[in-house]
C-alpha cells in the first residue's frame, strides 16, 4: 500500500482529478484467464454514477470505462489492466471562489498545508470522483472471487434507522437509497428532499455483508482481514467510523453476550449460533458472513454560509453553490462494496500464496 496504490497481491493504483481530462486505475497481480470486458465493469460504474436521481449531484458523467491493457481475446492475461474513464462534465466555473476561501470540512486547507498549493477544481484529487476508479478496479476483483457474494446497503440516513426485521435484499436496488427496508426508503425520500431543498446535507451509515468467504482468508496482526477492511473503508471520502460485526455495541456487552457459540455443522464445518464477531477472529475469516459498517459524515458543501479563512489567512465566509450530493452516504454504498471486493480478492491470493 502506497500513497495511491492499494493491496498486496491484487493491487491497483488510482490516478486522476475531479476536473482533469480523465481518471483511472491500473490493476496489477490479477490472475490470468478471467473473462473480462468493459461490459463486466460498466454496470458497477452505473450504480455509482452521479445524476441518476434527484438525490445525488447533478453533474452528468457517463463514466464510460475503457480497458487499455491486460486483456486479450476477452480474458485477463496476468499483466497490468489499465482502466480509463474520461471526465466529460467538468464545469470549473462553479468552483471559482473555492480557489480563494477554504471550504470547512473539505481537504482544501490540509492539501495547501501539505503541498503548498493544489488543483482547486472540484476538490482535485480529494474529490469523491476518485471512487469511480475503485469501483472499476473492484469489478475486476469480483472476477477473482466468484465464490463470494457482496451487498452493501444503507441502514441509516440523518439518524433515521431501518427496521432490521423488515430487511429485504431484493429491495436494495428498487429505491435510490440502496435501502433494504421500503418503509425507511419512503421516509428517506422526504428527509433527503428537505435537506436538498434547504441546501443542507445528511450523514449516513452503510453496512456491507460478504457471504461465501471461506474460513482461513486473512492473516495475523498487520495484514488482518478486519485491519485491512478498516483501513480500506476509512480511505473512502467522508467516512469517519468503521465497525466489524457488533462494533461499538460489543463494548457494551459482557463476555457471555458476545460469545459466538459453535455446534457441529455440515461438511465438518462449525455451525455458529451467532455472529457478533462479524465473521473474523484474530484477523482471519471464520467462514461466517463478513460484516462491516461505516459512518459517513454529512456532505461538507452546504448553502448556509460558514466562517472560514482564505489562502492569505484573512477571514472569509463561504457557501458552496456547486453541484453536490445532499447525502454522500448514498453513492458510497457501491464504493463500500468495491473496497470489500478489493480486500477479499487480495486476501484470497495472499492466502493461496502462503498456504498453497
Binding-site residue set for NADP(+): 48, 54
Phi, psi of 173 (to 5 degrees): -90, 5
Query: Binding to its own copies by residue 278, rule CB under 8 A?
Result: yes
Query: Binding to its own copies by residue 164, rule CB under 8 A?
Result: no
Contact 334, 138 (CB under 8 A): no
Contact 266, 256 (CB under 8 A): no
90 vs 20, 102, 126, 129, 328, CA distance in Å? 8, 20, 15, 11, 19
Cell numbers that stand for 63 in this block? 463514466
Beta-bridged to residue 14, according to DSSP, are: 25
Locus of grid cell 459498517: 293
CA distance linking residue 289 with residue 275, whole number of Å: 8
Using DSSP bridges, classify how beta strands 11-16 and 239-244 pair: parallel, antiparallel or unpaired.
unpaired
CA distance linking residue 123 with residue 5, whole number of Å: 20
Between residues 88 and 174, which has the closer beta carbon with respect to its own copies?
88
Between residues 172 and 350, which has the closer beta carbon with respect to its own copies?
350
Q: What is residue 341's three-state secondary structure? A: helix
Q: How far is the CB of 94 from its own copies (least distance, A)?
A: 17
Q: How far is the CB of 264 from its own copies (least distance, A)?
A: 5
Half-sphere exposure (Cβ direction) of 127: Cα atoms closer than 13 Å: 29
Query: Binding to its own copies by residue 235, rule CB under 8 A?
Result: yes
Among 44, 55, 111, 153, binds its own copies (CB under 8 A): 111
Between residues 174 and 190, which has the closer beta carbon with respect to its own copies?
190
Closest CA to 233 of 340, 83, 150, 80: 340
Residues annotated as binding site?
48, 54, 125-127, 237-238, 282, 297-301, 323
Among 49, 106, 129, 196, binds its own copies (CB under 8 A): 106
Question: Which string of x and - marks every residue 294-313 that binds its own copies (by CB under 8 A)?
Answer: -xxxxxxxx-x-xxxx---x
Q: How far is the CB of 186 from its own copies (least distance, A)?
A: 20
Q: Which stretch binds its own copies (CB under 8 A): 39-47, 88-96, 173-181, 250-258?
A: 250-258
Among 138, 224, 322, 333, binds its own copies (CB under 8 A): 224
Query: Binding to its own copies by residue 323, rule CB under 8 A?
Result: no
Between residues 55 and 111, which has the closer beta carbon with respect to its own copies?
111
Query: Binding to its own copies by residue 170, rule CB under 8 A?
Result: no
Among 39, 165, 170, 315, binds its own copies (CB under 8 A): 315
Q: How far is the CB of 170 from its own copies (least distance, A)?
A: 25
Query: Binding to its own copies by residue 201, rule CB under 8 A?
Result: yes
CA distance linking residue 56 with residue 329, whole number of Å: 10
Among 148, 195, 335, 336, binds its own copies (CB under 8 A): 195
Query: Binding to its own copies by residue 114, rule CB under 8 A?
Result: yes
CA distance linking residue 219 with residue 282, whole number of Å: 8
Amino acid at each position: 500500500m502506497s500513497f495511491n496504490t492499494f493491496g498486496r497481491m491484487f493491487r491497483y493504483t488510482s490516478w486522476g482529478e475531479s476536473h482533469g481530462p480523465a481518471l483511472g486505475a491500473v490493476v496489477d497481480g490479477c490472475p490470468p484467464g478471467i473473462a473480462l470486458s468493459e461490459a463486466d465493469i460498466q454496470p458497477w460504474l452505473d450504480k455509482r454514477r452521479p445524476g441518476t436521481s434527484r438525490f445525488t449531484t447533478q453533474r452528468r458523467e457517463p463514466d464510460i470505462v475503457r480497458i487499455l491493457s491486460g486483456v486479450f481475446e476477452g480474458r485477463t492475461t496476468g499483466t497490468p489492466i489499465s482502466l480509463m474513464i474520461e471526465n466529460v462534465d467538468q464545469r470549473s466555473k462553479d468552483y471559482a471562489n473555492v480557489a480563494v476561501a477554504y471550504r470547512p470540512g473539505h481537504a482544501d486547507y490540509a492539501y495547501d498545508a501539505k503541498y503548498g498549493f493544489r488543483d482547486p477544481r472540484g476538490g482535485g484529487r480529494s474529490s469523491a470522483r476518485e471512487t469511480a476508479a475503485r469501483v472499476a478496479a473492484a469489478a475486476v476483483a469480483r472476477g477473482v472471487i466468484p465464490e463470494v457474494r457482496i451487498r452493501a446497503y444503507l441502514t441509516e440516513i440523518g439518524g433515521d434507522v431501518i427496521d432490521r426485521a423488515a430487511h429485504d435484499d431484493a429491495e436494495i436496488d428498487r429505491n435510490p437509497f440502496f435501502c433494504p427496508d421500503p418503509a425507511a426508503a419512503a421516509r428517506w425520500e422526504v428527509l433527503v428532499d428537505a435537506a436538498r431543498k434547504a441546501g443542507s446535507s445528511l450523514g449516513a451509515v452503510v453496512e456491507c455483508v460478504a457471504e461465501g468467504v471461506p474460513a482461513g482468508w486473512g492473516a495475523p496482526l498487520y495484514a488482518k482481514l478486519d485491519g485491512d477492511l478498516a483501513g480500506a473503508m476509512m480511505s473512502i471520502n467522508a467516512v469517519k467510523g468503521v465497525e466489524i460485526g457488533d462494533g461499538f455495541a460489543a463494548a457494551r456487552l459482557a463476555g457471555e453476550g458476545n460469545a459466538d457459540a459453535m455446534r457441529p455443522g455440515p461438511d465438518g464445518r462449525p455451525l455458529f449460533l451467532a455472529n457478533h464477531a462479524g465473521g473474523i477472529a484474530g484477523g482471519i475469516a471464520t467462514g461466517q458472513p463478513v460484516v462491516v459498517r461505516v459512518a459517513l459524515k454529512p456532505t461538507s458543501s452546504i448553502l448556509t454560509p460558514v466562517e472560514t479563512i482564505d489562502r492569505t489567512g484573512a477571514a472569509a465566509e463561504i457557501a458552496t453553490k456547486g453541484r453536490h450530493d445532499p447525502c454522500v452516504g448514498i453513492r458510497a454504498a457501491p464504493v463500500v462494496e468495491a473496497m470489500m471486493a478489493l480486500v477479499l480478492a487480495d486476501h484470497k491470493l495472499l492466502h493461496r500464496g502462503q498456504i498453497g
